[in-house]
Each structure stands twice: as C-alpha cells, then as structure tokens.
Amino acid sequence: MSLSKEIAVKYQIKETLLNKIEKIEDSTLQELSSLKEDIEKELNDLIDELAKNNAEWDTELLTPEGFPRDDLDVLAIITIKKNINMLRNDLKKVMNCLHKAISNNSELMKKNLTSSESIQNKVIHPMNSNIPFAIFTEVIKNSPCDKAGINSNDKLIQIDNFNAANYKNLNVIKNYIVMHENIEMKLRILKSTNVMKEIILIPSKNWDGLGVLGCKLTIL
C-alpha cells in the first residue's frame, strides 16, 4: 500500500457515519439529533489527530521557499483538514435539517414545552459542569461574542461538550470554535455578577473585526 493510501485509510471517516449522512433528508428528528452528536464526536477526534501531528487549523505547511515543511507530516495534516472540512459542511446540513424538522413538528415542540424540556436543549449538548475553566478578558463591541451577550470578565464554564473536566488545552478549544463557524454552539458562562447563564453563540467572520468570536479567552 502506498504512503498516501495508508494515510487516507488511517484518517478516513467511519463508513457507518457516512452512510447516515447520505440519508439526512429522510432522517427523523431523533436521528438528526443523534447524527449531529456523531459528527461532532468525529470532528473532535480529527481535531485531536491534528494536535497529535503538532498542527493547528492555520498552521503553515510550507517553508518560505514554498516547499513542504520537513518537520511536519504535511500529507497527514492535509488529509485530516480535508475530512474536517467535509464534516463541517455535513454538520451545517444536519443543523439546517434539524431546524426545519423542529419548526415542522409543532406537536413535539408543545409536548416538550409542557414537560419543560425545549427541543433546542435536546439537540445541543447538555450542560454538566459548573466549574469555570477560562475567562473572557476582552470582548470587542459588535463582535459575535458581544452580540451573544458575553462581557469582559465573564467566565466560561462549558462550550458544547468541553468543560473543566475534559478540555485539553486552549488550542483544542480554538480549533473546535473555528470548525463551528456559522454553526450554533451552546455555552454556559458565569457572569461577572456571579449569575450563571446559558447562551447560544454563533462564530462568524461576518463582522468588522478579526477572527470568528471577537474576544480574548484566557485559561484560568
């Protein structure tokens, strides 16, 4: 087996997941919710593989002379990033189908509202931890963070599945956020007034500043 094929096999997306993705349009609300979690888990695994290869999403793979860096497994990194891009697009499709299914399923929405469980909470990861692990040291006006209601000195307790118990480092969080550009993320934050709040944040480059959040985040 050639090196390129060996790398492609090593980092290939699970066939069972690809089969589910092909059936998005015919999936039920429950199946879409499960598929969303499966895709995000696969994305997390690929982000971990990127870190194991000493790379981040924006790591430069070429030397100033235009040659592949010899200190990185460039082929592996390119393969991982290609799969991440594909899954990002699939995740956006799943989210669109989820929103459509929710709006079309008014009976299910009423049932969940009656039992004090909104559909929105069912399709986004549950909040499990109450221990802050990072702080927003700066939030730029009119940025995605600002529009979501985040202020300077607010503390981050959880972002989707990441919390104080399982986050690895700030680079992993950074890569995860970049992977979720234009995709809803659920955050639990501790306001500077010591009030806990859950918010929806959508990373986006569609604002006048740099980056997809418009903030500075520091690990506590």
CATH number at residue 178: 2.30.42.10
My answer on whether 172 and 205 are in the same domain is yes
My answer on whether 25 and 58 are in the same domain is yes
Which of 117, 139, 120 shows the shortest CA–CA distance to 189? 139
My answer on whether 80 and 16 are in the same domain is yes
The answer as to whether 207 is a domain residue is yes
Span 17-29, pLDDT tens digits? 888 888 888 888 7
Arithmetic mean of pLDDT, 63-84: 91
Query: Would you state the structure tokens that stand for residue 167, as one six-digit string?
Result: 């986050």
The answer as to whether 177 is a domain residue is yes
What pLDDT, on a 0 to 100 scale, did the predictor assign at position 110?
A: 52
Instruction: Give the chain's mean pLDDT.
Output: 81
Chain-centre distance of CA 120, in angstroms? Answer: 16
What pLDDT, on a 0 to 100 scale, did the predictor assign at position 119?
A: 37
Q: What is the span of the domain harbouring residue 160?
A: 134-219
Q: Does position 205 have pLDDT exceeding 70, yes or no? A: yes
Give 124's pLDDT tier (boundaries 50, 70, 90): very low
Give 139's pLDDT tier (boundaries 50, 70, 90): very high
- End-of-domain residue from the set 104, 123, 142: 123
What pLDDT, on a 0 to 100 scale, did the predictor assign at position 126?
A: 45
- Which of the pair, 36 or 140, is modelled with greater confidence? 140
**Which ranges of the chain does DSSP label H, i.e. alpha helix?**
3-10, 15-22, 29-52, 74-104, 106-114, 119-123, 144-148, 170-179
Q: Does position 125 have pLDDT exceeding 50, yes or no? A: no
- End-of-domain residue from the set 95, 123, 151: 123
Give 195's pLDDT tier (boundaries 50, 70, 90): confident
Which of 171, 29, 181, 167 shows the shortest CA–CA distance to 109? 29
Arithmetic mean of pLDDT, 182-206: 89
Counted domains in the chain: 2
